[in-house]
Structure 1
Amino acid sequence: MWCWEVIKINALTKVDETKVGVKGLIDSGIRTIPPFFVHPPETLADLKRGAEPGSVQEIPTVDLAGVEDFRAGVVEKVRLAASTVGFFQVVNHGIPEELLRRTLAAVKAFHEQPAEERARVYRRDIGKGVSYISNVDLFQSKAASWRDTIQIRMGPTVVDSSEIPEVCRKEVMEWDKEVVRVARVLYALLSEGLGLGAERLTEMGLVEGRVMVGHYYPFCPQPDLTVGLNSHADPGALTVLLQDHIGGLQVETKQGWIHVRPQPNALVINIGDFLQIISNETYKSAHHRVLANYSNEPRVSVAVFLNPSDRVRLFGPLPELTSTEKPALYRNFTFDEFMKRFFTKELDGKSLTNFFRQ
């Protein structure tokens, strides 16, 4: 076992040092995936038990067009989705269709630049403003996932725009502004769904801490042996996701794994572990994953993770949501402690909520 681990680490290091990611492996002409991308039998068996393509089960869709005139109804739809599935899609959010297309195209363009251009920002130091990487948990996971990612820190300390690759700079900056606007609307609805004032969650700084990631899932020659993104729950408060038409995102529900069917111009919203904790489990985060891409066309998605801006303040279940009948289910912690815990483990599910439970 020890010998195999050494061989695996050496192979991972060799690939990582090329700084060209999974895209580089495909460009080299490989027809079989390297062994360290092959997932354990139990993971592959679980993938086969997932929802069949074309499943009628879908996550809820919330139409924001009626957010002012029919606010109570919209609040209830958001509350119900956040407290059950933990995922929902929003339509009529006000982001121009043209910007949605340009943002996906710009992220795709970054990943399809010449390898030497991508390599300029390839680094494992996630504290940097911009980093291009293949698998943030490459050296912690049981098996690697078939995807590459560009990560850009948008707040609370905003990256210098000159650090953002020119090929996607304009779109990233425009996209961030729109996400902030939509996030404020969503937090107000979620806050009201908890029986709190509309500004309660935004007053905690949950819009200011933002990290944007642009995932690129190239064609995989053996998609039945690996995954695009391993099963996990997002650690932060809220995630805003824009996905293209390829599909592959799945969410675990009480009925099993279901596909998140791409809807034109829709955003996928999901609750993170942090929001589950501060809501004292009124809202639920959910396991989700991405299947390896069997399409000859690459899959592209853009996610913005919304987190607290203050990393040293103590957080825990909101006092308004605890009582003698429903005591706090989690201990207090700093967000710095929270994220350090997340980045020292592989993407393996909801151990964060388990770790901070009282």
Structure 2
Amino acid sequence: MASDEQETQADHEHGGYDRYKELKLLDETKQGVKGLADAGLSKLPRIFIQDNLNTCSSHANNANIPVIDLGSLHHEQGNSSSSRNEIIEKVKDACEKWGFFQVVNHDIPQRVLDEMLDGVRRFHEQDFEVKKQFYSRDVSKRVFYNTNFHLYTTSEINWRDTLYCRLAPGPLDPHQLPSICRDITVEYSDHVKKLGLTLLELLSEALGLERSYLNKDIGCAEGVLILGHYYPPCPEPELTLGTNSHTDIGFVTILLQDQVGGLSILP
């Protein structure tokens, strides 16, 4: 049986266009999409063009995504059962109707958020000779970068590069992280882990379980993966996407259809 990579190659060689060859040429440069942007292209390479590109409808743009304020959890009054119960009910309602929500007043300093974004930008915009040592498709590595992790196995690739930092499970030697964003990545991950524990407690209680269930009892907080996406200027942005619709492996993705009616559950 042919592999996904071989099938992708065969499918696109017909008609004189060898898509696999173009993908491999891009991969072997180790410069990612940033390298193409730096070359000053005026036309989008064919491998990035998405023929059936779907844009968000006006209904989706006007959707009121649930926003949950966690501020009271970080103050003395947050210890009251009524305050916490109100937040739990909001989490439960958002999960039942939407499958996701946005949090504010989460106790991660704005400085940390801004510096993390800047750190990711610095990594992707640093000298190529320094950055290329991190380029890899070996997903067993704790820290690496590439363009489109599914480059050879999907019909649509995105205009982006990504820095992958797997900080847990197991301790990660900070020296494995790029020096240009090392300190802020460690600081940011500490804050994110703390927030993650809080959210898992709230989700546990929203399910009617013990507060520690998702966190300590079944170990949902053991893994921490930070993806630092980078979207360089695109010559023809109307023909492609930085991130297209997808499901995340290991999770249940719930899609709200037309803002009302049923929910679709995808494995």
User: If the TM-score is normalised by the length of the shorter chain, which range does it land in?
Assistant: 0.7 to 0.9
2:224 aligned counterpart, secondary structure:
strand
CA contact (8 A) 1:206 1:237 kept: no
User: What is the distance in 2 between the residues matched to 1:158 and 1:37?
Assistant: 37
Q: Which residue identity lines up with residue 184 of structure 1 in the other structure?
A: L
RCO comparison, higher one (Cα < 8 Å, 6+)? 2
Q: Which runs of 5+ in 1 are unaligned?
A: 240-250, 257-283, 287-349, 354-358
Structure 1 residue 170, shift from structure 2 partner: 0.2
> Who is 1:149 aligned against?
162
CA distance in 2, matches of 1:101, 1:158: 25
Query: Is the Cα contact below 8 Å between 1:152 and 1:159 reproduced in 2?
Result: no
Are residue 13 (structure 1) and residue 24 (structure 2) matched?
yes
* Other-structure match for 1:219: 233
Cα distance, 1:20–1:172 mapped onto 2, change above 3 Å: same
Q: What letter matches 2:186 in structure 1?
A: M
Residue-by-residue CA offset, 1:23-62 (whole Å, 9 max, x unaligned): 1100000011110101132xx1x22xx1349933231000
The residue number in structure 2 matching 1:64 is 70
Which of 233, 250, 256 pairs up with 1:253?
A: 256
- Compared CA separation, residues 4 and 87, structure 1 to 2 (3 A): farther
Distance 1:190 1:25, change over 3 A: same
In structure 1, what is the Cα distance between the partners aligned to 2:137 and 2:225?
15
Q: SS in structure 1 opposite 2:167?
A: strand
TM-score by structure 1 length? Answer: 0.64
Task: Answer yes or no: is the 8 Å Cα contact 1:31–1:221 preserved in 2.
Answer: yes
TM-score by length of 2: 0.85
* Residue 109 of structure 2 corresponds to residue 96 of structure 1: yes
The answer (yes or no) to whether the contact 2:49–2:239 under 8 Å persists in 1 is yes
How many angstroms apart in 2 are the aligned matches of 1:55 and 1:2? Answer: 35
CA contact (8 A) 2:116 2:188 kept: yes
Runs (5+) with no aligned partner, structure 2: 1-10
- The 5 Å alignment of 1:42-191 reads 44=53, 46-47=54-55, 50-52=56-58, 55-67=61-73, 68=78, 69=80, 70-191=83-204
Partners of 1:15 and 1:138 in 2: CA distance:
10
Higher strand share: 1
> Per-residue deviation at 1:252?
4.9
Letter in 1 for 2:65: I
Paired with 1:39 and 1:62, the residues of 2 have a C-alpha distance of: 35
State the AA in 2 paired with 1:35: R
C-alpha spacing 1:236/1:181, structure 2 compared with 1 (3 Å): farther
Are residues 137 and 54 of structure 1, via their aligned partners in 2, closer, same or farther at CA, if it must alter by over 3 Å? closer
Residues of 2 paired with 1:3 and 1:55: CA distance?
Answer: 39
For 2:57, the aligned partner's letter is A
Residue 60 of structure 2 contacts residue 258 of structure 2 at CA under 8 Å; is this kept in 1?
no
Question: Aligned residues: percent identity?
Answer: 38
TM-superposition CA deviations, 1:163-190 (whole Å, max 9, x none): 1000100011001111111011100100
For 1:3 and 1:188, how far apart are their aligned partners in 2?
Answer: 52
Instruction: Report the secondary structure of 1:9's partner residue.
Output: helix
Q: 1:133 to 1:2 in 2, by over 3 A?
A: closer
Contact 2:165 2:227 in 1 (8 A): yes
